[in-house]
Amino acid sequence: MSHRLSYASGESAVGLLGQAIGANLEEAAAAHPDHEALVDCPTGRRYSYADLLGWSQQVARALLAAGVGPGDRVGIWAPNCAEWVAVQFGTALMGAVLVNVNPAYRTSELAYVAGQSRMKVLFSASAHRTSDYRAMVEEVAPTVVTLEQVVYLGEEEWERFLSRAVEVAPEELSRVSAGLSFDDPINIQYTSGTTGFPKGATLSHHNILNNGFFVGELLGYGPTDRVCLPVPFYHCFGMVMGNLGAVSHGSTIVIPAPVFDPAATLRAVEIERCTSLYGVPTMFIAELAVDGFAGFDLTSLRTGLMAGSPCPVEVMKRVRDEMHMGEVGIAYGMTETSPVSTQTRADDDVERRTATVGRVMPHVEIKIVDPATGRTVPVGETGEICTRGYSVMLGYWDEPEKTAEVIDGAGWMHTGDLAVMRDDGYVNIVGRIKDLIIRGGENIYPREVEEYLYTHPDVADVSVIGVPDPRYGEEIAAWIKLRPGAEPLDVEAVRRFCTGRIAHQKIPRYVRLVDEFPMTVTGKIRKVEMREVTSRELGVDGAFGPTA
């Protein structure tokens, strides 16, 4: 066992950006005024950097005209669209704190985040698919005492709102912008909150501008890059790693669809000649499964980013080989750390890109500690990964006690994720502390079982959980999504596939065949819900059939 401790700090010849987000957009527009900044594929709209800056300044001046000032909270509740980007940069230019509202939220959740953040203005979609946002807003708005105005994006209310920009001189906006500090809060993102109410991670200009910038640096971004973003803007993956990563390098943001659509994503990559594509593993799995996948011309792709949950090795290999993403990066992080703490590098070999989540980001520190004692563990041992540095959030909005539960006195953010640091400094995430399965006193990491089951030729996707068991405390259950045309697998077939190849205590006791997994909007599998469903439906023989 190594005596070296699991600690690393990210060196960089490039310094942190000491500016507010609006100033960074102004720099990009001055350097590349006619270069394409934003393409909204569903509507066919295109914006140069000069256009995007002008539009964002219009939003900023209209907000000032509406009585919104620096530090006031402004919500946005909408799927991806060009207006989302204009509101993101418009609020940054005049210092309002943008409150991202999950598009999957419904009335009680909207009421909670609007009230808890003391939101003053809400930008909302009017409708999308089966969601009538306008009806939900009209139900909730009277209950939020601070809410003064609702603006429906793309509707006549939006045009009326923008028309108010003429009430505020450009010089007044410049004066307000000049008074902003890069350490000011600029964004509140509510974490998914699997138990209780969601918490509002409060992030500064410095937090998210730098994180987006260094993600882009490690992906080698420049003005010739075109970044396809099927990931949601309301989440860090879209608005930080995507929008800020692109703009801070003069690259182009490409919106393929309002919400994730695998075929639309592939079409956008082909038509717009995108060089980079983002997604969580389930998104890439869906793209690879699109009818006629092989017919799409994806040869423009060079890189991209896969994050949000561990990527199966086989999926990673197909993304690299069949989607031409030879320099694809793997990133790990959480909303509270702006979000990325570790990332692979463009020249990393196949093994590092498939077996790890990379190494520490520039200007960030990480360590891996024993969750019980808080002591840093030796390299090669499992513990909780912690992060410190510019990327750690200011705190949970208006919840100092909850903030103190996760950020310790030395400034370390405790992530709740279990990880191992290797001798080369690369990190492997082995699970969540709360997802760890303890069977008969043995610690079992779901990722290990999942990686093996992915090698079964009939398995398209798999997720492993622990369920209560009177004898062992917990037993292993595997939810399996089969490849099209595959014969159904039963629990005995899975056990035969595992026997002699993985340790007996890791072999699933229960198997459930599913068409889909319960997912968050960001594409993370909801294991809490899986445990609830499995515990409720568990049969005595442990064999489940396909679900509707």
- Contact, 187 vs 97, CB < 8 A? yes
Looking at residue 195, its pLDDT comes to: 47
**Span 450-454, mean pLDDT?**
90
Looking at residue 548, its pLDDT comes to: 24
Q: For residue 517, what are its two tokens?
A: 């997994």
- Contact, 279 vs 325, CB < 8 A? no
| Reported confidence tier of residue 521, pLDDT bands at 50, 70, 90 | low
| DSSP assigned state of 328 | -
* 437-537 CATH choice from 3.30.70.1560, 3.30.300.30, 3.40.50.970, 3.40.50.150: 3.30.300.30
Q: Quick check: 313 pLDDT over 80?
A: no
**Span 524-542, mean pLDDT?**
78
Map out the domains of the chain as residue ranges: 437-537
The percent of residues above 90 in pLDDT, for the chain, comes to: 79
The percent of residues above 70 in pLDDT, for the chain, comes to: 96
Looking at residue 391, its pLDDT comes to: 98
**Span 477-497, mean pLDDT?**
93
**Span 267-285, mean pLDDT?**
95
- The pairing of strands 226-228 and 252-255 is parallel
**Span 394-401, mean pLDDT?**
97
| Reported confidence tier of residue 542, pLDDT bands at 50, 70, 90 | very low
**Span 228-233, mean pLDDT?**
97
Three-state SS at 358: coil
Q: What strands lie across the sheet with 185-190, from one edge to the other?
A: 149-152, 119-124, 73-77, 97-100, 185-190, 200-204, 395-396
Q: Which of 150-154, 356-360, 371-375, 466-470 has the lowest mean pLDDT?
A: 466-470
Q: Which of 383-397, 479-493, 519-533 has the lowest mean pLDDT?
A: 519-533
Looking at residue 505, its pLDDT comes to: 86
Looking at residue 130, its pLDDT comes to: 87
**Span 264-268, mean pLDDT?**
98
Does 480 or 131 have the greater pLDDT score? 480
Q: Which of 68-72, 402-406, 448-452 has the lowest mean pLDDT?
A: 448-452
Looking at residue 73, its pLDDT comes to: 98
User: Nearest to residue 82, comparing CAs of 256, 261, 274, 269?
Assistant: 256
User: Nearest to residue 366, comparing CAs of 383, 345, 347, 349?
Assistant: 383
Does 148 or 131 have the greater pLDDT score? 148
Looking at residue 434, its pLDDT comes to: 81
Query: What pLDDT digit, counting tens, does each position of 423-446 carry?
Result: 999 999 888 888 888 887 777 888
User: Nearest to residue 513, comparing CAs of 474, 473, 475, 486?
Assistant: 486
Q: How far apart are CA 435 and CA 416, in angstroms?
A: 10
Q: Quick check: 218 pLDDT over 50?
A: yes
Q: Quick check: 357 pLDDT over 70?
A: yes
Looking at residue 543, its pLDDT comes to: 42
Query: What pLDDT digit, counting tens, does each position of 180-212 carry?
Result: 999 999 999 998 654 467 899 999 999 999 999
Looking at residue 192, its pLDDT comes to: 64
- Contact, 233 vs 88, CB < 8 A? yes
